[in-house]
């Protein structure tokens, strides 16, 4: 059960759709609030509060969404959306380039880590074909070795009934084949 959940989490980012948009917006909004609340203490072109949130986005979101979080962070701090004077400072462009390069490395490492662990998971299985069934929170999942993410088949009760029906039909077909 834990292995299936880990495999699903590793092979595909856990957040997608509307929740991904919310994670992305929070990943820009929270560090912006932190950064602008420290405006009297921290002056200049400081992107540091945004870095952990780009890393969280790289872990939770697809790579392109995490890249959008990084780009939006530069836009927000640079005044594209709020008229910040940081954009006119001589340090802004070098700081933005360094921040974007750091963000790209974090996103790339998260992506490579996900792909490497997914590859190890597939390679660690000694059977290269067949279906693996697992149960998680009352739902049955089917996983094909090395092909995509696990697929939810239904509740345990429903899948058990379908399997019993399948085995009964198989037995009837075998018995009919022997009777000839």
pLDDT in tens, 70-108: 999 998 887 764 456 665 677 788 888 999 999 999 999
SS3 content of the chain, % helix, strand, coil (to 5): 65, 10, 25
Q: Both 166 and 111 in a single domain?
A: no
Clarify whether residues 24 and 105 are in a common domain.
Answer: yes
Q: Which tens digits make up the pLDDT trace of 31-53?
A: 988 887 876 666 667 788 899 99
Task: Determine if residue 149 is left, alpha or beta; phi over 0 gives left, psi from -120 to 50 gives alpha, anything else beta.
Answer: beta
Q: Of the candidates 92, 107, 124, which is a domain's last residue? A: 124
Report the percentage of the chain scoring pLDDT > 90: 28
> What span, in angstroms and rounded, lies between the C-alpha atoms of 180 and 177?
6
More confident residue, 83 or 175: 175
pLDDT at 143: 79
Q: Give yes or no: residues 92 and 158 share one domain.
A: no
The pLDDT value recorded for residue 113 is: 86
Task: Indicate whether 40 and 9 sit together in one domain.
Answer: yes
Range of the domain at 138: 131-178
Tell me what pLDDT residue 152 has: 85
Domain count, the chain: 2
- Same domain, residue pair 117 and 136: no
DSSP string, 70-139: HHHHHHHHTTTTT--GGGGSTTHHHHHHHHHHHHHHHHHHHHHHHHHHHHHHHHH-S--SSEEEEEETTE
Average per-residue pLDDT for the chain:
80
- At residue 164, the pLDDT reads 93
Bridge partners for 154 per DSSP: 140
Distances (CA, A) of 171 to 55, 68, 157, 168: 54, 55, 21, 5
State pTM to two decimals.
Answer: 0.61
DSSP character for 145?
A: T
Instruction: Tell me: do 119 and 135 sit in the same domain.
Output: no
- E-strand spans in the chain? 131-136, 139-144, 147-155
Residues 111 and 72 grouped into a single domain:
yes
């Amino acid at each position: 059960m834990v292995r299936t959940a880990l495999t699903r989490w590793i092979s595909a980012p856990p957040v997608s759709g509307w929740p991904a948009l919310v994670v992305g917006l929070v990943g820009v909004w929270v560090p912006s609030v932190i950064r602008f609340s420290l405006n009297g203490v921290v002056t200049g072109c400081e992107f540091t509060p945004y870095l952990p949130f780009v890393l969280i986005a790289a872990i939770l979101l697809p790579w392109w969404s995490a890249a959008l979080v990084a780009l939006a962070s530069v836009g927000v701090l640079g005044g594209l959306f709020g008229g910040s004077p940081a954009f006119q400072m001589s340090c802004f462009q070098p700081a933005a380039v360094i921040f974007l390069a750091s963000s790209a490395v974090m996103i790339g490492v998260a992506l490579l880590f996900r792909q490497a662990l997914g590859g190890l998971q597939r390679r660690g299985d000694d059977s290269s074909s067949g279906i693996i069934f697992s149960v998680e929170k009352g739902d049955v999942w089917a996983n094909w070795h090395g092909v995509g993410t696990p697929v939810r088949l239904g509740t345990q009760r429903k899948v058990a009934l379908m399997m019993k029906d399948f085995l009964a039909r198989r037995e009837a077909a075998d018995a009919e084949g022997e009777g000839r």
